[in-house]
Amino acid sequence: MLPGSFQALSPQHLRTFPMHAYRTHTCAQLGAADAGQTVKLSGWVHRKRDHGGVLFIDLRDHHGITQIVAGPSSPAFPVLDRIRLESVVTVVGEVVLREAGAVNPKLPTGAIEVRAKDIVVQSAAEELPMPVAGEADYPEDIRLKYRFLDLRRERLHANIMLRSHVIASLRRRMIEQGFTEFQTPILTASSPEGARDYLVPSRVHPGKFYALPQAPQMFKQLMMVAGFDRYFQIAPCFRDEDARADRSPGEFYQLDFEMSFVTQDDVFAAIEPVLAGVFEEFAGFGGREPWAVTKGPFPRIPYAEAILKYGSDKPDLRNPLIIHDVGEHFRGSGFGLFARVVEAGQVVRAIPAPNTAGLSRKFFDDMNEWARAQGFPGLGYVTRKGGEFGGPIAKNHGEAATAALFDAMGLGPDDGCFFAAGKPADAAKLAGLARTRIGEQLGLIEQGQFKFCWIVDFPMFEYNEDEKKIDFSHNPFSMPQGELEALETKDPLDILAYQYDIVCNGVELSSGAIRNHKPEIMYKAFAIAGYTKDQVDANFSGMINAFKFGAPPHGGSAPGVDRMVMLIADEPNLREVVVFPMTQKAEDLMMGAPAPATPRQLRELHIRVVD
């Protein structure tokens, strides 16, 4: 499966014990040089080819496949003849060179085969709910219920090995950078910010609950206060949120790290080579032409610029399209809709659609249809063929004015353009989604690339329209740029934080920050978000207390391990890189979790189920 990926059973070791109970070699090990040896192999019956007089078995283990042959005189023949695929057998036989015409160049062991003399059935398989051999797709629920079968299949098996290798590489690289790995508690306290918590009832303390950590955020900061200087952990994180393709329900892993006495630049300089190094190390995964990885330093894009130019705080830089703010072009325009939008203080954003002269009107109308289906008012457009404009916007806006707009955007005579208008946040969001969709439909997304960037200068606060109050926009423990003075003198919505995300190919890998280690700044920041000093003391007592006894300036981040592996494996969702994933509704179909508790368990926990 992964030739050479598992070295624990070296040939030297095995040959010291030729009569080992189960094997002298793995199923990937034998070649022409071994001809004449008597060997013992163990594995799964991958495929059978029964020719009546002669029987071929592809025997598979973790390492590879070896062809076993049994003639009618072999004692193994009747056993292999009967046995079902995926049964586990041990075969003893002689390694023989295949005849020239019978060599299989597709198989690393294809120069030889093992002539079976004896066989032991270690474990007979029942009829399978899904085949293991072959590349066909199978329903997700069957794959999850029989995950142990799914995991035998080549691609998933390779993904899981990749995951292990990525984690080993991350550990090695972090340790080389002077980081130290520590474990932090799994049973901890709930915190009021963030996602919903998973709660664990306490038997000893009736009515009280532990929470599983959403991240070891406060613990790692306390490690810095404790003077450990550079912490990291492949940390399990638990959040009770609904799943997405790139968001596992329930639990996931982060490369969690934190550093003392650092600026934002120091954090970037520490982690960039780790990430770039890992992505480069596995860029050729699966035998593909290695993908190119962004050379450091990664581009840094301020949050506001990302929202404007890419319509997203996790831009896919493989997409060459850049959004333009074109509201000024429509001030007083003959296209009344956009003129009124601008007059009302709202915005118009334009998304290029290069080389679309040859596309039918349907392409543009479908895009508008799609925008409406997404819940937006619509996506306007201007077409252009051989320099001639088309569509209602161009007609009303006027040829000269439209030409000026196109020139300002650098668009040519055969390029089209889409428009998203409305409140800045809404228009940016639609423009961002449209940018992605247009890029995909026009085939503009560069392939074979890992394009990294930092998103920096996130706003510290945002306005909560529903509750008519100011909220933290990201992490409440981030240091505001300008520190206490900024909090006291600036409009809170104008304050930026030393807060940053790493993005790769449109996937948010991590968010991090230089932390706020000063109690007086923390009280002030929480006050702006509506928390009293007492509330801060109550909810964050562990950390705020610690900061009163000598805390180093510190910062860090926490790239998602699952997402990294997903990107490297080029898989569309996280289940393809998680060994035992749950369904979208956070159920484990194989183990049957979650499950009801017994009355006795509930009694001990002082819990009564009310529904």
Partner RNA sequence: GCGGGUGUAGCUCAGUCGGUUAGAGCGUCGGCCUGUCACGCCGAAGGUCGCGGGUUCGAGCCCCGUCACUCGCGCCA
Interface positions, 509-568, toward RNA (CB under 7 A): 511
Does position 247 interact with RNA (CB under 7 A)? The reply is yes
Residue span 88-117 as binding mask against RNA, x where in contact by CB under 7 A, dash where not: ----------xx-xxxx-xx--x--x----
Closer residue to RNA in complex, CB, 272/313: 313
CB 358 → RNA: shortest distance, Å?
Answer: 28
Three state DSSP letters for 452-513 = EEEEECCECEEEECCCCEEEECCCCCECECCHHHHHHHCCHHHCEECEEEEEECCEEEEEEE
Maximum pairwise Cα distance, the chain: 94
Q: From CA 133, how far away is CA 86, in angstroms rounded? A: 9
Candidates 54, 186, 344, 425: give the one binding RNA (CB under 7 A).
Answer: 54
Closest separation between CB of residue 9 and RNA, Å? Answer: 24
Q: Is 121 in the site for RNA (CB under 7 A)?
A: no
Instruction: Give the one residue of 246, 272, 316, 415 binding RNA; rule: CB under 7 A.
Output: 246
CA atoms 34, 35, 37, 38: torsion sign: positive
Nearer to RNA, 4 or 134 (CB): 134
Given the structure tokens 């520490």, which residue do they identify? 270
By CB under 7 A, residue 194 contacts RNA = yes
State yes or no: residue 71 binds RNA (CB under 7 A): yes
Residue placing its CB nearer to RNA in the complex, 13 or 244: 244
Distance of alpha carbon 308 from alpha carbon 331, whole angstroms: 19
Element (H, E) at 45: strand 38-50
Dist. CA 162–CA 281, nearest whole Å: 11
Which residue in 15, 196, 203, 340 binds RNA (CB under 7 A)? 196
- Report which DSSP code applies to 328: G
Tell me how far apart the alpha carbons of residues 564 and 285 are, in angstroms, rounded to a whole number: 13
CB of 198 to RNA, least distance (A): 13
CB of 587 to RNA, least distance (A): 5
Stretch that binds RNA, among 47-55, 177-185, 359-367, 484-492 (CB under 7 A): 47-55
The binder of RNA chosen from 176, 242, 343, 369 (CB under 7 A):
242
Q: Are 497 and 480 in contact (CB under 8 A)?
A: yes
What CA–CA distance (Å, rounded) separates 558 from 503? 12
Comparing CB distances to RNA, the nearer of 84 and 331 is: 84
Nearest to RNA of 184, 475 (CB atom)? 475
Kindly state whether residue 185 participates in binding RNA, applying the rule CB under 7 A.
no
Any contact of residue 217 with RNA (CB under 7 A)? yes
Nearer to RNA, 433 or 486 (CB): 433
Q: Which residues pair with 52 in a beta bridge?
A: none
Q: Decide whether 11 or 71 has the Cβ nearer to RNA.
A: 71
Between vectors from CA 142 to CA 138 and to CA 145, what angle results, nearest 5°? 145
Contact range with RNA by CB under 7 A, out of 87-95, 389-397, 438-446, 580-588 = 580-588
Q: Which residues of 43-58 are buried (b: 16+ CB within 10 A; e: fewer)?
A: bbbbbeeeeeeebebb
Q: Contact between 84 and RNA (CB under 7 A)?
A: yes
The residue among 585 and 608 lying less far from RNA, judged by its C-beta, is 585
Binding of RNA at residue 47 (CB under 7 A)?
A: yes
By beta-carbon proximity to RNA, the closer residue of 218 and 411 is: 218
Quick one: CA torsion of 22, 25, 28, 31, rounded to 10 degrees? -140
Geometric angle at alpha carbon 606, from 600 and 608, rounded to 5° = 80
CB of 115 to RNA, least distance (A): 7
Restricted to residues 290-329, the positions that interact with RNA (CB under 7 A) are none
**Contact region with RNA (CB under 7 A), list: 34-42, 212-220, 363-371, 412-420:** 212-220
Report in angstroms how near the CB of residue 462 gets to RNA at its nearest. Answer: 9
Q: Which residue has the tokens 């860090």?
A: 556
Is 465 a binding residue for RNA by CB under 7 A? The answer is: no
User: Which one of 274-282, 312-320, 544-552, 570-578 is the stretch in contact with RNA (CB under 7 A)?
Assistant: 570-578
The whole-angstrom separation of Cα 609 and Cα 611 is 6
Q: Which is nearer to RNA, 418 or 461 (CB)?
A: 461
Structure tokens at 205: 């303390």
In the complex, what is the shortest distance from the CB of residue 596 to RNA, in angstroms, rounded to a whole number? 15
Show the binding pattern over residues 346-385: x = contacts RNA (CB under 7 A), - = does not: -----------------------------x----------
As measured in angstroms, the least distance from the Cβ of 601 to RNA is 23
Question: Smallest distance, Å, CB 138 to RNA?
Answer: 5
Count of residues near RNA by CB under 7 A: 73
CB of 429 to RNA, least distance (A): 8
Distance, CA of 358 to CA of 415 (rounded, Å): 10
Q: Footprint of RNA on residues 581-600 (CB under 7 A)?
A: 583-585, 587, 589
Q: Which stretch binds RNA (CB under 7 A): 36-44, 48-56, 308-316, 541-549?
A: 48-56
Shortest distance in whole angstroms from residue 162 CB to RNA: 19
Instruction: Return the residues of window 469-488 that contact RNA according to CB under 7 A.
Output: 471-477
d(CA 140, CA 146): 10
- CB closer to RNA, 126 vs 534: 126
Three-state SS for 253? strand
By CB under 7 A, the residues from 125 to 184 that bind RNA are 127-131, 134, 136-142, 144
In three-state form (DSSP H/G/I as H, E/B as E, the rest C), the secondary structure along 361-430 is: HHHHHHHHHHHHHCCCCCCEEEEEECCEEECHHHHHHCHHHHHHHHHHHCCCCCCEEEEEEECHHHHHHH
**First vs last C-alpha separation in the chain:** 49
Least CB distance to RNA at residue 118 (A): 17
Q: Which residues, 6 or more positions from 398, have their beta carbon under 8 angstroms from its beta carbon?
A: 333, 334
**Which alpha helices (DSSP H) does 21-153 contain, by range?**
76-82, 140-145, 147-150
Which of helix, strand or coil describes residue 152?
coil
**332, 410 contact by CB (below 8 A):** no
Tell which one of 25, 230, 239, 437 touches RNA (CB under 7 A). 239
CB of 508 to RNA, least distance (A): 9
- Report if residue 245 touches RNA, rule: CB under 7 A: yes
- 218 or 323: CB nearest RNA: 218
